[in-house]
């Protein structure tokens, strides 16, 4: 079967094939984008605005948790807020469920391409979406997309994604493990304008809630997501009023540029090559006893990384994932292994990463494949090869100059604590599920403690301590370098 790059003339528009954003988006001329920014920003202003934007994103996530009241948000942390530039490039995504990073920018870019002309994108609008072929991981992960306007021009986007209790389908909770196709699963909604002129459209909301067995819970979650976006939008506008749009946009661009420089610096230490990994999964539907292969190939050529899934089994049963789900799994590993020091800004790295899967396969399924179990099936199985191929590539750095965080691999950004002295070569990491892990360190220093993700108030287990208390650990960071996210003098 041909790869995406070999399918010339095929529409990857999120209808039959998963949406793949083109290099240049087709945006209606009716929509004016604010792209002007200053290139020279003094270091203090840069640091203040950079951290303010990060805290906007943190407050965004905390608002959803507090208003939702859902254990999914408070304890499972199955959500993620994001800030993106006017054209859909990541500034920050949050320290929650990490695979959602791979399904956020694609949906924003789809809205820019397919909603800017009709019905239009205006100040006070928000779009609701959960279509896996447009960008969701599965139908239960609902995204609320909010444009931020300044004086009639689109300045940036704030978005959030939150897992819902139930959106229909043949199984309560909408995890339909015996579904034959997407028509037996929860409702699929391409981005639709659910808020217009700062008013909820009741017709669209009632359509959204009608398919759920838990409409009251889903309605409350929707309002929590709405409040999160409004909070983030208001905070960004307050920054613009204080510092000016060109300064705030300049900080956003520099955050991404600095992350790009740090990523390229790591890549330059690594040789070009090809690394492969495979894993297997069994039983794609009830009664099935088959075994299915999942392949991943990583190619490094100069300053570019190419990911392919050639050799993966064809889509089958109820354990598939779409293009965006596969991409999200890879981005989890990419962020944790090569971008962990960039404060959840993966936009710089994505400028040098190409995803080229084979459509119609287990983790790049075409419509109407069953995908409701993707995060716990196909995406989880795709995550392991992603960690392995990237680890193999990093291990080819014979000088051992690339610093790594010492923590257990997990798709959630759980708390991790690192301790390193020059005379020691072992790490011990207490994990939130009361496990510990050890890693061998190469001869370089990394931050002594990293604890940025939100968490529940407490976790169970003998000797467990408050997560809130753990979150108060003072972050120690090494002096500013060009590859450090706090370096303000780049360019």
Query: Which of 107, 110, 117 is CA-nearest to residue 31?
Result: 117
User: Pairing state of beta strands 304-308 and 353-355?
Assistant: parallel
pLDDT at residue 433 is higher than 70: no
In a domain, 86, yes or no: yes
Residue 368 CB-density burial (10 A; 0-12 exposed, 13-18 middle, 19+ buried) = middle
- Mean pLDDT over residues 277-301, rounded? 95
Nearest CA to 353 among 381, 393, 294? Answer: 393
Residue 452 predicted with pLDDT over 60: no
pLDDT mean across residues, the chain: 85
pLDDT at position 403 is: 73
Residue pair 34/153 in contact (Cβ under 8 Å)? The answer is yes
Average pLDDT over every residue of 277-303? 95
User: Given pLDDT bands bounded at 50, 70 and 90, which one contains residue 398?
Assistant: confident
Write out pLDDT tens, residues 40-95.
Answer: 999 999 999 999 999 999 999 999 999 998 999 999 999 999 999 999 999 999 98
**Paired strand residues for 308:** 297
Q: Outline where 38-115 has alpha helix (H).
A: 43-68, 71-74, 105-114
pLDDT in tens, 223-269: 999 999 999 999 999 999 999 999 999 999 999 999 999 999 999 99
Domain that holds residue 156: 32-248
Alpha carbons 392 and 433: distance in angstroms, whole number:
27
**Residue 233 falls inside a structural domain:** yes
Query: Per-residue pLDDT tens for 344-376?
Result: 899 999 999 999 999 999 999 999 999 999 999
Nearest to 142 by CA among 250, 268, 32, 229: 229
Q: In this predicted structure, what is the pLDDT of residue 405? A: 66
DSSP string for residues in 144-174: EEEEEEETTEEEEEEEEEEE-S---SSSTTS
**Rounded Cα distance, 22 and 24, in Å:** 5
- In what order do the strands lie in the sheet containing 273-282? 273-282, 291-301, 304-308, 353-355
- Which pLDDT belongs to residue 453? 38
56 neighbors 314 (Cβ within 8 angstroms): no
Q: How sure is the predictor about 101, in pLDDT bands with cuts at 50, 70 and 90?
A: confident
* Mean of pLDDT values over 272-294: 94
Q: What is the 3-state secondary structure (H, E, C) of 439-462?
A: EECCCCCCCCEECCCCCCCCCCCC
Question: Looking at the DSSP assignment, which residues form a beta bridge with residue 143?
Answer: 129, 161
Q: What is the pLDDT of residue 406?
A: 58
Looking at the domain assignment, is residue 236 inside a domain? yes
Give the Å distances, CA to CA, from 174 to 165, 187, 207: 8, 9, 17
Q: Is residue 394 part of a domain?
A: no
What is the pTM assigned to this prediction? 0.85
Q: Exposed (0-12), middle (13-18) or buried (19+): which is 96, by Cβ within 10 Å?
A: buried
**Angle at the Cα of 468 from the Cα atoms of 466 and 469, rounded to 5 degrees:** 65
- Whether 359 is in a domain gets the answer no
Report how far apart the first and last C-alpha atoms of the chain are (Å, whole number).
45
Q: Distance between CA atoms of 65 and 455, rounded to whole angstroms?
A: 10
Sheet holding 141-150, edge to edge: 90-93, 79-85, 153-163, 141-150, 126-129, 192-196, 199-200
Tally of domains in the chain: 1
Q: Within a domain: residue 140?
A: yes
The SS3 of residue 426 is strand
Nearest to 65 by CA among 94, 92, 108: 94
């Amino acid at each position: 079967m041909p790869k995406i790059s070999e399918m010339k003339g095929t529409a990857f528009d999120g209808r039959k094939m998963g949406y793949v954003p083109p290099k240049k988006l087709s945006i209606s001329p009716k929509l004016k984008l604010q792209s002007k920014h200053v290139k020279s920003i003094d270091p203090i202003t840069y640091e203040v605005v950079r951290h303010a934007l990060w805290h906007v994103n943190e407050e965004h996530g905390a608002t959803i948790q507090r208003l939702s009241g859902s254990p999914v948000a408070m304890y499972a942390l199955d959500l993620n807020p994001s800030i993106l530039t006017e054209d859909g490039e990541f500034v920050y995504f949050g320290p929650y469920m990490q695979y959602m990073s791979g399904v956020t920018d694609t949906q924003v870019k789809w809205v820019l391409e397919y909603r800017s002309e009709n019905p239009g994108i205006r100040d006070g609008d928000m779009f609701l979406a959960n279509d896996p072929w447009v960008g969701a991981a599965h139908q239960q992960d609902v995204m609320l997309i909010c444009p931020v306007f300044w004086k009639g021009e689109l300045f940036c986007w704030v978005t959030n994604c939150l897992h819902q209790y139930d959106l229909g389908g043949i199984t309560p909770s909408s995890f339909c493990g015996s579904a034959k196709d997407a028509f037996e699963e929860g409702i699929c909604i391409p981005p639709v304008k659910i808020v217009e002129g700062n008013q909820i459209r009741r017709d669209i909301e009632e359509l959204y809630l009608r398919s759920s067995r838990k409409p009251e819970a889903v309605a409350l979650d929707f309002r929590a997501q709405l409040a999160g976006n409004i909070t983030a939008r208001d905070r960004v506008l307050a920054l613009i009023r204080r510092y000016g749009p060109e300064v705030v946009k300049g900080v956003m661009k520099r955050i991404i540029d600095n992350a790009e420089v740090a990523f390229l610096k790591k890549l330059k230490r690594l040789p070009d090559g090809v690394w492969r990994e495979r894993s297997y999964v069994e039983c794609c539907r009830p009664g099935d006893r088959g075994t299915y292969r999942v392949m991943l190939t990583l190619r490094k050529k100069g300053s570019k990384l190419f990911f392919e899934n050639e050799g993966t089994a064809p889509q089958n049963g109820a354990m598939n994932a779409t293009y965006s789900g596969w991409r999200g799994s890879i981005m989890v590993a990419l962020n944790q292994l090569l971008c962990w020091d960039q404060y959840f800004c993966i936009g710089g790295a994505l400028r040098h990463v190409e995803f080229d899967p084979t459509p119609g396969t287990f983790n790049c399924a075409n419509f109407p494949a069953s995908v409701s179990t993707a995060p716990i099936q196909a995406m989880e199985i795709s995550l392991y090869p992603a960690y392995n191929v990237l680890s193999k590539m990093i291990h080819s750095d014979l000088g051992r100059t690339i610093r790594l965080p010492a923590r257990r691999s997990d798709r959630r950004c759980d708390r991790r604590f690192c301790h390193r002295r020059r005379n020691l070569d072992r790490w011990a990491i207490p994990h939130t599920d009361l496990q510990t892990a050890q890693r061998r360190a190469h001869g370089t220093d990394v931050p002594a403690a990293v604890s940025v993700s939100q968490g529940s108030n407490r976790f169970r287990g003998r000797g467990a301590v408050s997560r809130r208390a753990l979150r108060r650990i003072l972050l120690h960071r090494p002096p500013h370098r060009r590859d450090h996210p706090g370096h303000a003098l780049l360019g």
